Amino acid sequence: DVKVTQSSRYLVKRTGEKVFLECVQDMDHENMFWYRQDPGLGLRLIYFSYDVKMKEKGDIPEGYSVSREKKERFSLILESASTNQTSMYLCASSFSTGVETQYFGPGTRLLVL
């Protein structure tokens, strides 16, 4: 079974703090994704990566950056957390883009005070 793990289930941070969300997958997938989920808005893509050190902006990249130094690990960075970044963050991976199923982690619920 594919396993996607995220470093924290719940996180509380203060405005202005730098926040790291880590995601690890164990199936040698090429592609990894970071989404955020807010009520009524579904999943919105923040960034994705199709190879090590490669990244591409999603629909809402502002205020975020990412890092993919190793194939299995994809990090989401909030350089200076703000209250409007309070959300559920989901990581996903897939073997390739398109018709391949994405496998999701359990999510990190981030509260920025």
- What value, to the nearest 5°, has the Cα angle with vertex 97 and ends 52 and 68? 20
Provide the minimum distance between the beta carbon of 79 and other proteins in the complex, in angstroms, as a whole number: 23
Dihedral (CA of 80, 23, 91, 57) sign: positive
- Closest CB to other proteins among 15 and 97? 97
Q: Which residues bind other proteins (CB under 8 A)?
A: 4, 33, 35, 40-45, 48, 50, 56, 58-59, 90, 97-107
Provide the minimum distance between the beta carbon of 14 and other proteins in the complex, in angstroms, as a whole number: 26
Provide the minimum distance between the beta carbon of 42 and other proteins in the complex, in angstroms, as a whole number: 4
Provide the minimum distance between the beta carbon of 34 and other proteins in the complex, in angstroms, as a whole number: 11
- Closest CB to other proteins among 81 and 91? 91
Q: How many helices (H) and strands (E) does the chain have?
A: 0, 11
Provide the CA 51 distance to its chain's centre, in angstroms.
Answer: 15
Contact 112, 81 (CB under 8 A): yes
